[in-house]
Amino acid sequence: MGKTNSQEEKWGAVLRPLRFVSRNDFANLNKVKNLENTLKDALARIKDTLPQEIYSQIFNLLDRLDKLSFDEKKAHLEKIFSLLEDASQETLQKVWPPLEDVYIDLETYRLYRKELSKPVQFLKGVGPKLAHKLATREVKTVEDLLFFLPRTYEDRRKMRFIGSLKTGEQAVVEGEVVLSGVVKFKRRRVFEIVISDGTGLLAAKWFHFNEKRHRETFRPGRKVILAGEISTFAGRKEMIHPEVEFPEDEKVGLHVGRILPVYPTIEGVSPKVLRRIIANAVEEYAEKAISPIPAKILNKRRLLPVPLALKGIHFPDPQDDIYILNEEKSIYHKSLAFDEFFYLELALALRKSQIARAPGIAFKPGTPRVRRFLKSLPFKLTRAQTRVLKEIEKDMTSPYPMNRLLQGDVGCGKTVVAFLAALIAIDNGYQVALMAPTEILAEQHYLNFKKYAGLIGVEIALLTGGKTAREKKEIYQGLKEGHINLVIGTHALFQEAVEFKKLGLVIVDEQHRFGVLQRAALRQKAKGLEPDTLVMTATPIPRTLAMTVYGDLDVSIIDELPAGRKPVKTYLFTAKDRQKAYEIVRQELSKGHRAYVVFPLVEESEKMDLLAATTMAEHLQKELFPDYQVGLLHGKMKPSEKEAAMAAFKEGRTQILVSTTVIEVGVDVPEATVMVIENAERFGLSQLHQLRGRVGRSARESYCLLVAHKLKPGSEALRRLKILCETTDGFRIAEEDMKIRGPGEILGTRQSGFFAFRRADPVRDYDMLVIAREEAFSLLKEDPLLENYPLLKEILMERWQERLKLSEVA
């Protein structure tokens, strides 16, 4: 104990200042002088416990630290902090002995499950009234209670001497009651006691009390333990409504004398009661929350099985680091996150292997028409396009179904690649279906594909809700007989009436709106052999998410823009400075270029926004740009009107296009070099990035001008816009967007089922997600049918079979 303590102190000397300066995004950084030497001195004291290379890495990062700029300092300190935290976990954390597998049979497991799903009322101390209150926070079963996790932790480990207490601090003290009774204070009755521990006197007060019970409880001479915040009143130290325990009690240490879990509040349930019933649940049932992840995996990753993790999360070890607990990064938190991710990844691995083993079509590659098409293009494919095309070709020629995700930023040239894949299928005598999430997007794909199809004589059709019954019938006919090679549509492609003669390739433009399930449904349209699937997405998906939602896909990334493209210069203007933005527009127009002016369209205020866009168009035409033509495009226009507005802009008959966000999708006007986004603060980060992708589609310099109206310093909106000004890297933007809005938001509600994690968070627990994936995939490789892991199989099916349409692993 003594040794660990001094270790802890030495480490504290390094970690404490780091924690202090890093708080609130390094708000304190400038207040601290001489950080370099402070940290170097402290570092020297833990040198012998650090691996040599970590020590020198940190030492180098500290070199001349005080002379660096704020941002550099911050970057260095962040790195140091994370190195040290990892190392401190290694050194300071309690060493858990290697675990062994728990062997229980399926029957016992099911019995345990049953017990865990019992209503909370089965627990000691929970009656119908309390159960009802718990239910308001969705705590209904014993298991719910076990997984009702602390929000924060409070340090109530050390007993303090009364003589050393200071106002404002949280403390735990032990002493003897010397006085107790009711006193009057401003016409209110207050129950007051005074305790002594030999170093001083401390008062405690209750404004709500049962006099008889309090008198009995706090009879003079009894030893008590009090925990709470110290305040000072009339020169005396006191605690108001402290938490109380008695050293003679059996269960001492539930509320004081330990690292105390602080649970989310539940209306009508006192923290003490909540803590007590959770303690009961943990004591009686945590053992039964078995998750049969093989011990060799947990040992290798230094993680705990669920029962131990639950115990630890509710009753941390006195040696645990409270800071890490509060960051939800403790071994207990990590273990629970890992557990959840593990089953998801195992399910995805299983699905992937099931698809991979199904019989698919082996297309013949490199047909003459593919070569001819490549020659007829006015450009050469980029290296990234060529590489990705090869990856696709390899999948398509294999006798198993392709299941591939094609990712790339707007304008990187995914469409050509997708068309080439389609061409391979068509040349092999198969049909292709392209599914888009919206009608507008389907139309845009149709226009783009038609351009390419025209070069090479491929029959394509567009199937959307807007078609007449007769047109639709004709398309159905063409697909059934096989003379339509490629059909583009929305979910209408699922409809019963749609029958293919020989569907060979399904291209899905996801935009995050479809998921694993929808893809499976479309594949069923092919009778007999499984068609190949290519999923395209224009919004780069953070790696984290790609791994969860698209975990069953192989991934191809086009990470290069066609030659000569310059990053779009992005600037932020306040409404007051709007004129400056329009000055840049004027300059661009005078060079013969074109401009977009975009207005947000928010559903609840759609009418006003439309009005704003229309008024703005008039204002721009009459006041600012009388010698240019201004066009208007919005979602409420008829399709023919929209097409006309787009065509006029494309051909240059209008030079300024004022629009609501409908231009977000698929529009391609290389002459457009500047975009003004009004009310930019109302758009999401990814959406802004998509919009910006409409300019910068040629070798010319181009601009994105963000005009923001209400921007508070330090607001989320300002942060979003700043990120956009800093970078044009779609992946970085997607990561940031996910940090701001959370993964569920980004994927839309349809995917939310995917994120019904109990406590894991793909962003915070990213490291666990990565290793869960590695372990799950390697376990399945070793035992593809999970024959040696019947319990794992059971849980997997229980949690994911429905959601992932897994076939039973027999």
User: What are the residues whose beta carbons fall under 8 Å from the beta carbon of 209, sequence distance 6 or more?
Assistant: 191
CA 602 to chain centre: 24
| Of 130-138, 380-388, 392-400, 525-533: span binding ligand ADP (CB under 6 A) | 380-388
Is residue 382 close enough to count as binding ligand ADP by CB under 6 A?
yes
With vertex at residue 459, the alpha carbon angle to CA 454 and CA 464, rounded to the nearest 5 degrees, is 105
In the complex, minimum distance from the CB of residue 698 to ligand ADP, in angstroms, rounded to a whole number:
9
In the complex, minimum distance from the CB of residue 540 to ligand ADP, in angstroms, rounded to a whole number:
11
**DSSP, res 697:** -
> Using CB under 6 A, which of 150, 175, 307, 408 touches ligand ADP?
408
Cα separations (Å) of 557 from 395, 533, 648? 15, 16, 34
Structure tokens at 320: 């645990």
Nearest to 482 by CA among 503, 457, 465, 497: 503
What does DSSP say about strands 503-509 and 532-537: parallel, antiparallel, or unpaired? parallel
> Using CB under 6 A, which of 316, 413, 515, 730 touches ligand ADP?
413
CA distance from start to end of the chain:
52
In the complex, minimum distance from the CB of residue 539 to ligand ADP, in angstroms, rounded to a whole number:
11
In the complex, minimum distance from the CB of residue 363 to Mg ion, in angstroms, rounded to a whole number:
6
As a whole number of angstroms, the distance between CA 447 and CA 642 comes to 14
**Span 505-524, contacts to ligand ADP by CB under 6 A:** none
Is residue 410 close enough to count as binding ligand ADP by CB under 6 A?
yes
Beta strand segments in 186-264, E? 188-196, 201-206, 223-229, 231-233, 236-240, 243-245, 258-262
Residue 562 touches which of Mg ion, ligand ADP, none (Cβ within 5-8 Å per kind): ligand ADP
Residue 704 touches which of Mg ion, ligand ADP, none (Cβ within 5-8 Å per kind): none
Q: 46 and 15 in contact (C-beta within 8 Å)?
A: no
| Of 203-211, 405-413, 583-591, 766-774: span binding ligand ADP (CB under 6 A) | 405-413
Is residue 677 close enough to count as binding ligand ADP by CB under 6 A?
no
Amino acid at 576: K
Q: Which is nearer to ligand ADP, 321 or 671 (CB)?
A: 671
User: What are the residues whose beta carbons fall under 8 Å from the beta carbon of 357, sequence distance 6 or more?
Assistant: 400
Beta strand segments in 234-322, E? 236-240, 243-245, 258-262
Structure tokens at 348: 């995805």
Site size toward ligand ADP, by CB under 6 A? 16
Helix residue ranges per DSSP H, 620-661: 639-651
Is residue 175 close enough to count as binding ligand ADP by CB under 6 A?
no
**Span 685-744, contacts to ligand ADP by CB under 6 A:** 697
As a whole number of angstroms, the distance between CA 109 and CA 791 comes to 8
Residue 274 touches which of Mg ion, ligand ADP, none (Cβ within 5-8 Å per kind): none
Is residue 531 close enough to count as binding Mg ion by CB under 5 A?
no
Residue 360 touches which of Mg ion, ligand ADP, none (Cβ within 5-8 Å per kind): Mg ion
With vertex at residue 630, the alpha carbon angle to CA 627 and CA 631, rounded to the nearest 5 degrees, is 160
> Using CB under 6 A, which of 488, 538, 595, 708 touches ligand ADP?
538
Run of H or E residues at 403: strand 403-408
Q: Which is nearer to Mg ion, 532 or 671 (CB)?
A: 532
Q: Which is nearer to ligand ADP, 274 or 416 (CB)?
A: 416
Q: Which is nearer to ligand ADP, 665 or 795 (CB)?
A: 665
> Using CB under 5 A, which of 261, 360, 515, 696 touches Mg ion?
360
Count of beta carbons in the 10 Å neighbourhood of residue 606 = 14
With vertex at residue 371, the alpha carbon angle to CA 366 and CA 376, rounded to the nearest 5 degrees, is 155
Residue 245 touches which of Mg ion, ligand ADP, none (Cβ within 5-8 Å per kind): none
| Of 389-397, 473-481, 513-521, 745-753: span binding Mg ion (CB under 5 A) | 389-397
CA 387 to chain centre: 29
Residue facing ligand ADP at closest CB distance? 413
In the complex, minimum distance from the CB of residue 407 to ligand ADP, in angstroms, rounded to a whole number:
10
> Using CB under 6 A, which of 175, 411, 515, 551 touches ligand ADP?
411
Q: Is the dihedral of CA 218, 223, 226, 231 positive or negative?
A: positive
In the complex, minimum distance from the CB of residue 649 to ligand ADP, in angstroms, rounded to a whole number:
15
Q: Which is nearer to ligand ADP, 36 or 668 (CB)?
A: 668
Q: 195 and 173 in contact (C-beta within 8 Å)?
A: yes
In the complex, minimum distance from the CB of residue 552 to ligand ADP, in angstroms, rounded to a whole number:
23
Is residue 668 close enough to count as binding ligand ADP by CB under 6 A?
yes
As a whole number of angstroms, the distance between CA 173 and CA 491 comes to 67
Residue 379 touches which of Mg ion, ligand ADP, none (Cβ within 5-8 Å per kind): ligand ADP
Residue 585 touches which of Mg ion, ligand ADP, none (Cβ within 5-8 Å per kind): none
How far is it between the farthest Cα atoms of the chain?
100
Q: Which is nearer to ligand ADP, 110 or 383 (CB)?
A: 383
> Using CB under 6 A, which of 407, 415, 533, 673 touches ligand ADP?
415
SS3 content of the chain, % helix, strand, coil (to 5): 50, 15, 35
Residue 412 touches which of ligand ADP, Mg ion, none (Cβ within 5-8 Å per kind): ligand ADP
**Span 547-576, contacts to ligand ADP by CB under 6 A:** 562
Residue facing Mg ion at closest CB distance? 360
Residue 668 touches which of Mg ion, ligand ADP, none (Cβ within 5-8 Å per kind): ligand ADP
> Using CB under 6 A, which of 37, 379, 477, 778 touches ligand ADP?
379
Structure tokens at 273: 């009661």
Run of H or E residues at 170: strand 170-185
**Span 390-449, contacts to Mg ion by CB under 5 A:** 396
In the complex, minimum distance from the CB of residue 362 to Mg ion, in angstroms, rounded to a whole number:
6
What does DSSP say about strands 431-435 and 486-489: parallel, antiparallel, or unpaired? parallel
| Of 348-356, 492-500, 528-536, 690-698: span binding Mg ion (CB under 5 A) | 528-536
Residue 307 touches which of Mg ion, ligand ADP, none (Cβ within 5-8 Å per kind): none
In the complex, minimum distance from the CB of residue 421 to Mg ion, in angstroms, rounded to a whole number:
11
Q: Which is nearer to ligand ADP, 411 or 542 (CB)?
A: 411
Is residue 540 close enough to count as binding ligand ADP by CB under 6 A?
no
As a whole number of angstroms, the distance between CA 518 and CA 494 comes to 9
- Please, what is the angle between helix 414-427 and helix 368-376, to 10°? 150
In the complex, minimum distance from the CB of residue 508 to Mg ion, in angstroms, rounded to a whole number:
16
As a whole number of angstroms, the distance between CA 433 and CA 426 comes to 11
In the complex, minimum distance from the CB of residue 327 to ligand ADP, in angstroms, rounded to a whole number:
39
Q: Is 253 left (phi over 0), alpha (psi -120 to 50) or beta?
A: left
User: What are the residues whose beta carbons fall under 8 Å from the beta carbon of 398, sequence distance 6 or more?
Assistant: 360, 362
Q: Kindly list the residues in this chain that would bind Mg ion in the complex (CB under 5 A).
A: 360-361, 396, 532
Q: Which residues bind ligand ADP (CB under 6 A)?
A: 379, 381-382, 385, 408, 410-416, 538, 562, 668, 697
